[in-house]
Amino acid sequence: MLKKLMLASMLFAQALGAAAGDAYPSKPIKFVVPYPPGGPTDAMARLIQGPLQAKLNTPVIIDNRGGAGGNIGSDFVAKSPADGYTILLAASGPMSVSKTLYKSLPFDPDKDFAPIIQISAFPLVLEVHPSVPVSNLKQFLALAKDRPGELSFASAGNGTPQHLAGELFNSTTKLKLQHIPYKGAGPALNDVVGGHVKVMYDILGSSVQHIKTGKLRPIAVTTATRSPALPDVPTLAEAGLPGYEFSAWHGIAAPAATPKPIVGKLNQALNEIFADPAFKKRWEELGTPIVGGTPESFGALMRSESSKLGKLVKDTGVTLD
């Protein structure tokens, strides 16, 4: 009898989930970006916003909730109703780094989210303000060693890819460039373009236009291969740091208990958007290939990156500023 009741309950829950998926969406969707406007995460959300509205025939509202390296916005989504009407532009920092970096985290990246889809795999670029008298890695290392304490690097916040790329660089080169955390990539990049901070390891998509207009000077990219967006810029490994490799990823996630039919509907809509050649062209101008795939493949990435980046935090001795 108990088994029959449990089976009936499970079938009822499945039927409710399917019904929810059929009726979804019936009101606006809040798309939370856990960083301020102006950075690469915000740019991706705004590029997706219009096509997703058209595909689902409902308004999609961008909600920027920056701070704490992406943790404030991520926590907001983790604690939101699991009905598909609040989704997160998930970033590798809060999803894979924060639980190692922070002693107390108000959400569990492994348990509090339902993965929907991976959307990016970004290279980062080591770049300097034009007032810094270097044009390649050899000159940069020589300057940093000759003038210890003079160079500092900006990041989007503690535990963000920009922060970890810089700490990995410090650890690899035995340098001590001071970390200056901001509340997002946009404010950090503005200060580097303005010359207030001289160095940044930034996600390529947000810096590429500043590089092309001469407002920033690229030294090298952090990935194993060169970026098509900057084909003349070497990798750090090519430039003299063999073995150095680092990238950032983003995806879309929802609160953990979001019904699978709703997750599936969002995943299908986004994969269809990503398959459009015009959208793909605009997306790749951000500096990253389009990814896509299943909720399961994005979930597997989140778990593997959590292990890898957590180890990086421990190995490099990164601590909160």
Tens digits of residue pLDDT in 97-146: 888 888 889 999 999 999 999 999 888 999 999 999 999 999 999 999 99
pLDDT band at residue 5, thresholds of 50, 70 and 90?
Answer: low
Average pLDDT, the chain: 91
What's the whole-number mean pLDDT along residues 250-263?
98
What's the whole-number mean pLDDT along residues 238-262?
95
3-state secondary structure 76-116: HHHCCCCCCCEEEEEEHHHHHHHHHHCCCCCCCCCCCEEEE
Between 3.20.20.210, 3.40.190.10, 3.40.50.1950, 2.40.30.10, what CATH number should domain 123-239 receive?
Answer: 3.40.190.10
Instruction: Look up the pTM and report it.
Output: 0.80
pLDDT at 149 over 90: no
Whether the CB-CB separation of 188 and 44 falls below 8 Å is answered with no
Give CA 124 to chain center in angstroms: 11
What's the whole-number mean pLDDT along residues 30-59?
94
pLDDT, residue 159, reads 83
Residue among 200, 167, 169, 207 at smallest CA distance from 182 = 200
Structural tokens at position 260: 């699978």
Cα–Cα dist 21/31, whole Å: 18
pLDDT at 16 over 60: no
Secondary structure letter of residue 235 according to DSSP: B
pLDDT, residue 205, reads 81
Secondary structure letter of residue 287 according to DSSP: T
pLDDT, residue 235, reads 96
pLDDT, residue 18, reads 54
pLDDT, residue 136, reads 98
pLDDT at 195 over 70: yes
According to CATH, where is 3.40.190.10 located in the chain?
A: 123-239
Neighbours of 13 (CB within 10 A): 11
Residue among 69, 138, 67, 140 at smallest CA distance from 99 = 69
Bridge partner list, 122? 248
Looking at domain 26-121+248-316, its CATH class is alpha beta
Helix (H) or strand (E) holding 206: helix 204-212
pLDDT band at residue 1, thresholds of 50, 70 and 90?
Answer: low
pLDDT, residue 114, reads 98
Secondary structure letter of residue 58 according to DSSP: S
Cα–Cα dist 120/125, whole Å: 16
According to CATH, where is 3.40.190.150 located in the chain?
A: 26-121+248-316
Residue with the bigger pLDDT between 259 and 205: it is 259
